Each structure stands twice: as C-alpha cells, then as structure tokens.
Structure 1
Amino acid sequence: MIDAFEVVESSTDGVKYWVSEQIGIPNEYLLRMRKSYDVVEFATSLKPFLLSHLLNMGLSEATYLDPDIKIYSHIDSSINEQTESVIALTPHRLTASKVETVSEFEKVFLKYGAFNLGFISVKNDVGSVEFLIWWQEHLVRDSTRRPISEVFTDQKWIDLVPSFFKYNIVRDFGFNVAPWNLDERKLSYESGELTVNSTSKVKFVHFSQISGMLAAGDLSSEWQLKMNNSSMTQETKEVFLQLIKDYSTELKSVARNSKLLIDYRLLEAPFSQLNYFWRDRINQKNSKNLYGVSKIENFLFTFSNPLLKAFTRLDTVNGLIWGIKSDLQRIKKRYK
C-alpha cells in the first residue's frame, strides 16, 4: 500500500498486504523516494524491495504481476533450472515485427525497454539477491519517466540483466498477452479454454495502463488506435474485445464491493506532486547525501495550490509536445 502509513488489518479476503515502511526500505531512502517520485515512479521503484521481502519470508520463488493483469490459467514456475537461471523475464514480443509496424513497436521497445516488467519472477538464490540489491540501488535514485531520459521507471534498467545476471526468457506465448503482440498471438477458444496460437493456454493478459478507464466502463483512444492498426486476425480482435468487456465488468464490481479502503489510513503526501524542476533540486541534494530539503522546498512539497498544480502539469505538456513531434516525424517519413 504505497499511499498508507498504518494498516488496521493486514489482510482482506485472504490477500496479504503491507505498507511501504514494512518491506525493508531504509527510512532515509523512503523519504527521498516519496519526495522525488510521482505515483507511477514511486510504485514501480518498490518492486525489487517487495520481491526481496517475499524471498526473506522463506519463499523459494517470488513472482511480481502488475495490478492491470488478469490470470486465465495456472502459472507453473517460469525459472529455467537447467540454465542455472535465477530470473525469469518476458519480452514485449517473441518474434520480430513486420517492417511496416517497426516504428510502432520495436522503436518503442528501444525507448521503454525490451522486457515488459508487468511480470518478473526471481528464485531464492544468491544470484537473485545480488540482482535485487543492484536493482534497488538504481531505483532509489533513478526510476523516473521523463519524456527525455535514459531510463523509464524500473523497466529500462532490466535491459542490462542479460549482461550481468543469469536469467531466462519465458518463450511461452501465453505469458503477457497484450496489444503490442496480438499480431503474433492468435487468440481462440479450444474446448472452452482460452488458447494462443492453438497450442497453449493463455496464462495472463496485460491490460496495460487502462484498468482505471475500464473500471469506469471506457477504453482509451490509444488502445483503440493500437488495436485498429494491429495486423491481428479478426477472430483475435473479437476475442480480445470480449476479454476487455468482461474485465471492465469485473473491475466495476470489485470497485463497488471492495473492503480494502476501510482497512488502512492514508498518508497526506505518499508521493511527490511537484514539477520536475523542484524534484531535480531535491535529487541534486540527495546525490550529495544531503537528505534534508530547504524550508521553501519543504513548503512547496506539502503545500498544494492551483499555481503549483499548474506547474506540475507542465511535465505532461512537455511529454505531449515530444509525442506530437515524434508523430509528425513518422508522417513526414511516410509521405516523403
């Protein structure tokens, strides 16, 4: 629970949960992260700490799944013991994109990361402990999602894993089914079970970044565009649209009946609401091991007003401008 400071009940409907202070993050690191990361950056930066926490509880293997993922069939261990792997990863795709869609897929993967970190599994092993410590050290300072940056939250760092650690790629097409790979994964029902390429069961579908909209009964225009431009089969499109509709219905039902909100108390400032200008100032101080901030920065961090919110929105506008620029560049190349 990234926005809570006290848990009244540590489990709801059989699900165990913790607040950020309970998963082994040093207080000075947690303070730094709350003051310099927005909600997405902060949430993603906690992954290696949570995985370490689970392994320290004595689990032989720990698996992380994004909250916008739905499981459709049993997931066996994804760690390949024969290769001495201690980490299992899923690439965004398992086959190369067609030439006409390279700009839509492979260039995006180069920017945001080759592996999709909606899923990662780690074995309880010395090698995975070394990996998690390495990942934690980077994400304490560098888990940003700025329009122009070398990193993208927790995900881009994992491109270095093949060079540093023993890992394996999960080559099961039923893992991480999503719009960016539906052209290589034909969905159908075989004997009443959801299958991919008529050979294996769908393990889980990643409804990336749209669970909030689906909970309100809507589908983002970005997803609609991705699906319309994809070269997936008509059957795949029909099956996937039905999956989206069913998932939306489930989300709305859960939102109405959830007991979770009564079981914890919220923090006033669980993560930063600051513009990147002020976050950079805080990070500069942190890089010099000065964990405190000036009075004016602390005031800006805790004081919410229309002017501050307007400055914060500049980050979004900046990202939009760069996105439009990229789109114009693609159009220029296409009609040149």
Structure 2
Amino acid sequence: MSGKPHLSNELAVFTIAASNYLAHASVLGASVAEHHPGLKLTVFLLDTPPQGLPLSEHLVIVPAEQAFERQEWNHRRAHYDILEFATSVKPACFRFLFDHSARRAIYLDPDIRVFQRLDQFWGGDESDDALVLTPHILTPLPDDGCKPDDLAIMRAGLYNLGFAAMRDTPDVRGLLDWWDAKLHHLCLHDVREGVFTDQKWMDYAPLLLRSSSAVLEHPGFNVAYWNLHERVPRLEGGRWQVESRKKADCDLVFFHFSGYAADQGGISKHENRFGSQPPGDALRLFEDYAGALEAAGVRETRAIEAPRAAFRDGTSWDTACRALYRQAIAEGLAFGDPLEEPAFLDWAAGVAPGDHVGRYLRAVLRLRGDVAIAYDDGRQTAGLLTWLRISGQPEMGLDPALVERFAGTGEPDAARVNYVGYLRSHIGVGEAARQSIAALEAAGVAVRTHDISADAAAPIGNYAVPGARLAGAAAVTILGCNADVLPGVLAALPGDMRDTYRIGCWYWETPCFPEQWANRFDLVDEIWVASRFVADAIREKATVPVLVMPPMVRPPRPRRDRPWLATLLPEVTADEFVFLFQFDVASVPFRKNPEGAIAAFSEAFSPEEPVRLVLKLLNGHAEPRLVDALRSAAAGRRISLLDAALERADSFRLLASADSFVSLHRSEGFGLSIAEAMAYELPVVTTGWSGNADFTTDDNAAIVPCDVVPGALAHGPYPAGTPWAEPRLDVAAQLMRRVWTDMAWREAIGQAGAATVAQRYSAATVGTAMRERLLRIERSARVNVRRQQAPAAGAHASDRTRSAAVRIASDVLRFPGYYLARLPR
C-alpha cells in the first residue's frame, strides 16, 4: 500500500472498498485509466488485503484509516455494519485528497465502469462548479407496481452518491465538515427513520452550496437499473450511447452496476421491472461486465470475508456489541475508544438497575425474542448458555470468547438422552436426526449417539457424527427410525440403550397408518412426530402418547454459486431463473410426483424463455425406467436432471444457487426440503396439503390447491386406496410463472417463509420443547421403574427385545414382498 493518492493534473478519481470488492475496483480502475491516460484509481481500502492477492496496475491502495484519528476510526468500525461503515468514510476521503494536493476529486462506487472522460462538466478554471451530483432519475418512474418506484427513490435520496465530484474550496470544506459530522453516528441504513447511509444527507447540499453546485442532467452519467425506463443503452459502431426520452442522444459516460451479480440472474437484486431483459443493448453491457469481473478474479475476491472490527486482544466485535454500543450512544454515554480501552467492555459486563441479566446478554435477548421466550428471559441460565455456545455464533455471529466472558460458566441442566439414527446418511430422516441432535445440545441436553446408517438404503456421506457430550447411556433413548424397521434396530442396539424409556421418532406420509405396524406401539413408550398431519394419522391407532416434536431447521449459511452449478450442469446459463425440485428415486417417487413438476413447468414456460427446472434426484439406478421416462418428458425443454449423491455442503450450495423451490408432492410427513428452501428465503411453490401445512400458508408460499383422492394402485408400503393429493397442475403453472415475473411477490413470500421457519423451527424453540419433555420424563415413575427392571451388564436381552426378533420373523412371513424388495439394499 502506498498511502499516497494518485493525481493527474491535480485531479483524483477514487473509490472505497474492502478486499472482497477489489475485483470490481480493478475493472473500474482499468476503465478510468483508458479514458484518463496516466491516472490511476485511488482505492481507500477498509481492511488489509490477504497476502498473495495480486493487485491491478491501475490501482493505488490507500488505507482508509489514514483519513481518521484512531479513536474516530474505531468508533465507526464499532458503530456501523459494513455498508454503513464504507459509506460513512466518504467525506473524510475527499478531505484527505484535498489535504494531499488534489484540487479536484471524483468519487465512484466500485461497481461502476467508465466509458468516457469523467470531468467533462469542468472547464478547468475557478468558475467551475465546486460540487457536482447526479440525480437518480430525470423523469418519474412508471406506476406499474414494479421496483423501484418513486417512493423508493424518495426514501433513498434524490441524488445517487455512487458519484460525486468536488473542487477544493472553503465552501466545499465546510460542506464536508458538516457531512462528516452527520455521518459520525447517523450513517444508518434505516429508511423507516428517514436515513439511508450517507446518501440522503446530500439532499441538502445544493441548498448549502447554492451558488457553486450543479445537478447533472446529462443522461449518460450514472446510468443504472433505476433509470433505464428513461435511458436506453445502444452500441453504435463500437461506441456506447444512450437514447434518452427528453434529451438528445449522447455518449454513455459511466454505467452503475448496482446490485448486479452474474450468478444471480437479472440485472440487479434491487429491481424487478426488467429482470434479465433490460432495454436496448443493456444485456451486452452486463455480459461484458461479467466477463471483465471474471478476468479480474472476482471468484477469489468475493470469497474474502468482509472486514469485522475486533478488540485489542483479537476478539471480534459482534452484533450484540454493536447493538449495545448504539444503545449507549443513544443514552449519551462515552467510552473513549470502544475497541482499545476497557470502559465499554466493563460496562457491557455489568447489569443495568432492575435487570437480572448482564447488558451483553440483554442485547442478545432483545435481538432474538424467540431466545428470550425459550429461556424465560434469561432466567434459564444453563440452557441459554448452551444455546449461546452452540447456536449463537452461527445464527447471530456472536464471538465465542465474548459469550464465555459475559455469560459465565454455567453448566447444562441434568437432561440426558441417547439418540439412535441414520446420522451419516444422505436421506431426509438422517438430516432431521442431525438437526434434532444439534437442537438438543443447543438446549443443554447431553446426547449420546448411535449411528445406524449402514442399515439404510441410501448413500453415506462425510458427516461429522454429533453427540459426543455424554459418557455412558441415559435413561431415555430416542429411536430415529420408522416403525417398519424398529424391531431390527432394537435387536441390534447395545443393552444399555435398549433397556430404557423409548421414544419412537416416526415419519409417515399419509392419513392411514398401516395396521400391520400397530404392534410397534408395544416397543416404545411414546412417539414423536414432525407434524400434526402425522400425529393425526398415528393417533388413530396408537396405544401410547403421540407428541408433535419437529426437527430443527437450520441449514448452513447460504452460499449461492451459479458458476459451480454450471460445472454440474453446463447447460445452465447465468441469465436463467432456476426452479429446483428434488427427490429420492428409492423412496416411493410416486409420492414426490416428479412428473407433475415437469408437466407444470412445461405448461408455464416456453423453451425460448430463460427459465430452467433442475430435477435433483438420488439413487437413479433404483428405477432406471422412471429416470428414462423423466428424461423423455423433459426433452426439448429447459429441464435438467442431476443424479448425484452430493455431500451436505454441496446439497445446500445447490439449494442456495436456485431461485425457487418446487414441491408438487402428493403427500409429505413434514417437508424438510421445503422448510430448508424457505430458510434460504427461496419462494416455494408447493402442494397445500399434508405435513408442510404446518408452516406453509398463502402468506409465505405459493400454495397449489389439490384434490385428495384414493390411489388406484399400491406404492411401496402404501396400499391401494391410500388418500393422495393430486395438485392442480394448471394452477401450479400459473404460480410458477408469477414467481418468475413478480419479483416483489416472490421476495415477500420468501422473506415471510424465512421468518416462519426461524420462529417455529429454531434451536431455541425446538430444542427447548424437547428438553422440557425429556426433563419431565426423567422425573417420571416409569423411567425409575425401567431403571430398576433393566438387566445387569452381560445379562440376556429383555423380553421386549426378544419380542422384537419375533416380530421381524412374523413380518417376513406376513409381508414377504415388502422385505424381499429391500434385500438388495
């Protein structure tokens, strides 16, 4: 880093970025150098680039910290998130350039590309305007219900501060001092409070510099998604031009690619007026820009973590610290340097008058109301501490060292449990088991696990088997396997897990639980199911309690990666909107209805439209004729089949790389894949019946109506006459098309879906419910009796276990077809 800005004829052009945006800055710098020969782009860098990261020859790097006194720099790092922080330093960077001999300075956002000389509005003498801004729009936006609209522009500010040009004058210095003072603590991204980072404050600027400011009405400056309704980019003879409604056609000076990512589809995540079909030759602009970013190394730079503030000892400043620091500022408290002096940490560790938890914990509970409810507003200290240790860090970005410092060293409550399940299997019931164990541990329950993945008809993945916090068996065992295989699982269990209070964790997918499995109720003490739908089906025949106890739904942080998807499916293009459907061929595909998904998609979209359906299937070898039939139905359409056993991380990367999730199932016991897609804010198109009805509504999903009819044939363990949903595929097609075309609606249901899943299936909600039930069981007389009746080590299996073997033999004789079909697996 040079630390010195680069000037050409006393002009500086600069941007502000962190290392994860250096590829964008490189593209901008190359375009500036092309039209300003001899001038390099000055980059005020918010962090230190990783060692070995190549830097473009068109850039000069200046640490942004040099523009501040240390305490003020640390205050802004502590007070703001990364977007707010990056925009808050802008006036100080202008001032820094003027203090280092620049007479004129032009700021550009890093996601801009220049096509003509930038300073053409200046003549080069003292009569030039001291401040030049660009408005978002020159004419009102259409009242077509699309985003953005005029109200959105009013909320964001009249001028787009992705561009600003200033000349060093006393009036400009005064404006910078005023602006910088406002951004000391009011550079907030909070449109409800009337502020939008640094931008809206500059609505005042033309009034404060009435005689020496200008608002550019040149249509070629700052062309972007928000003004394409009035400006059409055209490529004429190798030169980019702008066709304007109210002005003469002119050269394109620079284009602002705000909100654009090549792997997301569309021209910006902030708009839905044009999508992937912008006017004129704009699509060529975006394609060229995507290629330039790729050549500049955007894949490498975007993988760099955004900068985070840290205390002197390296402990990260986290979201709870930021909320608490903002509270302190609102109360008029001062701590000096919040990151390097101890005053803030001492205050955060203290307890406010009348409160029963420390200030740091209070900040966490205010940010997460569901956690406050689950742990009795922090009074249930052991469970809260375990949640903070296991779930607080991934869900809220809490620093483990701060959790230990502020939350104390409480020990988990006495709840203990054994968990038997398919812990390494690529199947839904395996993922549900892994999530349930994580929720139990987050709630302070000590878990001992027993993996039965070798018995599953599914591939085994590279999963870290959870549950290493319990030495020896507990008095309660959760059996994460379905009723059909329960006798065999019990017979193979270690004795200290077998002779316990048994909870059957069962999944079933239709309203009719099989009569032939009713004798399984004798093998368990109670049953946990994932949805009310399953509970209703099992309770009709159950002789033990049946409780709704769903799994936690907490997929890893979304990692959208369309270039990676293109390596799996080369036919997927960057501009396509991707619907994802997934199912296991070895698990009754009739229930998942892949043919229905293909039919609805084919009705909704023509092959010429940039929309694709990806069918992710597993175990395609189990029914090759079905797979061939699906390929035949997909022929000539933008439909891809992906038959692969992906590791967990890649399965979720696939989900995050889609734009919508489709499940036109005939029945679901819970719908884990649907819930996971909703957790990623994907708009979900799904049948409005069965287990997913617990969490999918017209407010958070595209619900497809259906007719429930008896099945004519048997399918796997489901006999003829089983009630099945037949989703109305014509309505499904209409909804899929609306998801594609109506960005505002799909965003609304996506956000509502994520909120629903976070509320109902978080570690705090699910884990606490399971923990409370286990504690109640631990205190019950039945568990104490079972402990007394359990055989000593080395003794023969109990009568109940011997009866399990008898049931296996009986089942084989009564239902030979069912068992023979499973022998190859």
TM-score by structure 1 length? 0.76
Residue 95 in 1 paired to residue 136 in 2? Answer: no
Letter in 1 for 2:65: E
Task: Answer yes or no: is the 8 Å Cα contact 2:259–2:267 preserved in 1.
Answer: no
Residue 241 in 1 paired to residue 283 in 2? Answer: yes
Question: What corresponds to 2:327 in structure 1?
Answer: 281
Question: What corresponds to 2:392 in structure 1?
Answer: 307
Question: What corresponds to 1:39 in structure 2?
Answer: 82
- The separation in 1 between residues aligned to 2:102 and 2:159, in whole angstroms, is 24
Question: What corresponds to 2:185 in structure 1?
Answer: 141
Q: CA RMSD in A?
A: 4.1
3-state SS in 2 of match to 1:243: helix
Residues 150-299 of structure 1 aligned to structure 2 (within 5 Å): 150-165=194-209, 166-197=212-243, 199-210=249-260, 213-214=261-262, 216=263, 218-219=265-266, 222=269, 225-228=272-275, 237-255=279-297, 269=310, 273-275=318-320, 277-284=323-330, 287-291=332-336, 292=338, 293-295=344-346, 297=348
Shift of 1:17: 1.4
Q: 1:175-195 CA distances to partner (integer Å, 9 max, x unpaired)? A: 010111111112212332110
3-state SS in 1 of match to 2:294: helix
Task: Answer yes or no: is the 8 Å Cα contact 2:328–2:334 preserved in 1.
Answer: no
3-state SS in 2 of match to 1:294: helix
Task: Answer yes or no: is the 8 Å Cα contact 1:175–1:202 preserved in 2.
Answer: yes
Question: What corresponds to 1:316 in structure 2?
Answer: none
Moved more, 185-194 or 109-118: 185-194
Q: 1:78-137 CA distances to partner (integer Å, 9 max, x unpaired)? A: 358797631100000112334446984210111111100000010011111111111111
Letter in 2 for 1:269: A
Letter in 2 for 1:39: I
Task: Answer yes or no: is the 8 Å Cα contact 1:6–1:19 preserved in 2.
Answer: no
Unaligned residue ranges in structure 1 (runs of 5+) = 314-319, 329-336
3-state SS in 2 of match to 1:115: coil
Which one has a bigger Cα radius of gyration? 2
- The separation in 2 between residues aligned to 1:155 and 1:107, in whole angstroms, is 15
3-state SS in 1 of match to 2:241: strand
Task: Answer yes or no: is the 8 Å Cα contact 2:232–2:282 preserved in 1.
Answer: no
Larger RCO, structures 1/2 (Cα 8 Å, 6+ apart) = 1
- The separation in 2 between residues aligned to 1:72 and 1:258, in whole angstroms, is 26
Residue 60 in 1 paired to residue 103 in 2? Answer: yes
Question: What corresponds to 1:317 in structure 2?
Answer: none
Q: Is the alpha carbon distance of 1:162 and 1:184 closer, same or farther for their aligned partners in structure 2, counting shifts above 3 Å?
A: same
Letter in 2 for 1:121: A
- The separation in 1 between residues aligned to 2:259 and 2:194, in whole angstroms, is 21
TM-score by structure 2 length? 0.33
Shift of 1:305: 7.2
- The separation in 1 between residues aligned to 2:389 and 2:152, in whole angstroms, is 34
Unaligned residue ranges in structure 2 (runs of 5+) = 1-44, 339-343, 350-358, 364-387, 399-680, 682-698, 700-743, 750-825
- The separation in 2 between residues aligned to 1:103 and 1:253, in whole angstroms, is 31
Task: Answer yes or no: is the 8 Å Cα contact 1:36–1:283 preserved in 2.
Answer: no
Question: What corresponds to 2:631 in structure 1?
Answer: none
For these two proteins, the number of residue pairs brought into alignment is: 306
3-state SS in 2 of match to 1:175: coil
Letter in 2 for 1:247: Y
Q: Is the alpha carbon distance of 1:239 and 1:121 closer, same or farther for their aligned partners in structure 2, counting shifts above 3 Å?
A: same
3-state SS in 2 of match to 1:75: coil
